[in-house]
Amino acid sequence: MAEGPTIEAIREARRRIAPSIHHTPVFESASLNRSTGARLFFKCENLQRTGSFKIRGATNAIFSLPAEVAARGVVTHSSGNHGAAVAYAARQRGIPAWVVVPRDAAEVKRAAIADFGAEVLLCEPTLASREAAAREVIERTGATLIHPYDDDRIIAGQATAAAELIEDAGGLDLVLAPVSGGGLLAGTAIAAQSLEPRIRVVGCEPARADDAWRSLRSGKLERNERSDTIADGLRATLSERTFGILRERVEAIVRIEEEEILEAMRLVGERLKLVIEPSAAVAAAGALLGKLDVANERVGIVLSGGNLDLRRFFPSP
């Protein structure tokens, strides 16, 4: 079995990051429960500091660094939320941060990274360009790479959201989380099955960026030929580390179409009065739109973030 972080590492991550994050609430909606025939528990990471769950992993990784290593700073590449989380956590520790951001990233996410004090370095929207720009920073400064998902410290930090959800909701049958690079879903699966082995874990993924779905079907790591989904936070691909964990621990991956992402955003906004980003809506769609049979089950849903660029929907006059 792929290892990943242990439940002890996840518990240590909870202690380490507690002063720096919110213990986010779990919401329910009577009308959504009636319409699905299930009991749905929404873990509101859209209300987290920096607007997403990413602060958990970034804080755990950065505050795990020895002082002499941390002093040289940290670098990452990110389409937005992880970059903002790294920038915030680095500021909390008082160290420099550099974030490589693709040119097509949402403007609201780029602005957040800069507002938290990191130096933003733009690159072309390819993985190769991201990695090359990050390497240049490392060679020039000695900074430590804080990878968005291919790191057990990151996975352990992300797992703390599921640990809180399971404690607060209690007695869950199923947990749904979005999947991109796989850090959140891997951590969710490890936490859920370590705390309550009976819990099933299912990942939800945009059909336009379905490498996890294809990888679990083929048994080997697949790559995306395109990743033009509206869920811009879910355009990354699995690593060998996260794929190994998902293959052993995740029951299935469900693909969500673009119109279903928008419909789930609408439902969550109308019924829960929450603003969520498309990446979070991918997980909600798994339960709300009949993609899974959730009738008579207690279902936890990780709403991964709320960094929505509202100017796309409400342009300035």
The catalytic site residues sit at 54, 79
Dihedral of CA 304/194/28/266: which sign?
positive
**What's the first-to-final CA gap in the chain, in angstroms?**
56
Helix (H) or strand (E) holding 27: strand 26-27
Return d(Cα 225, Cα 136) in angstroms, integer. Answer: 26
Kindly report the number of other CB atoms within 10 A of residue 70's CB atom.
Answer: 19
Phi, psi of 100, deg, nearest 5: -85, 125
Sheet containing strand 119-123, strands side by side = 119-123, 97-102, 74-77, 144-145
Return d(Cα 147, Cα 60) in angstroms, integer. Answer: 12
Tell me if 233 sits within 8 A of 210, measured CB to CB.
no
53: Cβ contacts below 8 Å, ≥ 6 apart: 45, 158, 161, 184, 302, 304, 305
Closest by CA to 160, choosing from 284, 265, 20, is 20
Interhelix angle 152-169/183-195, rounded to 10 degrees, is: 50
Closest by CA to 112, choosing from 315, 314, 311, 307, is 307
What dihedral angle (degrees, nearest 10) is formed by the CA atoms of 303, 201, 20, 151? -120
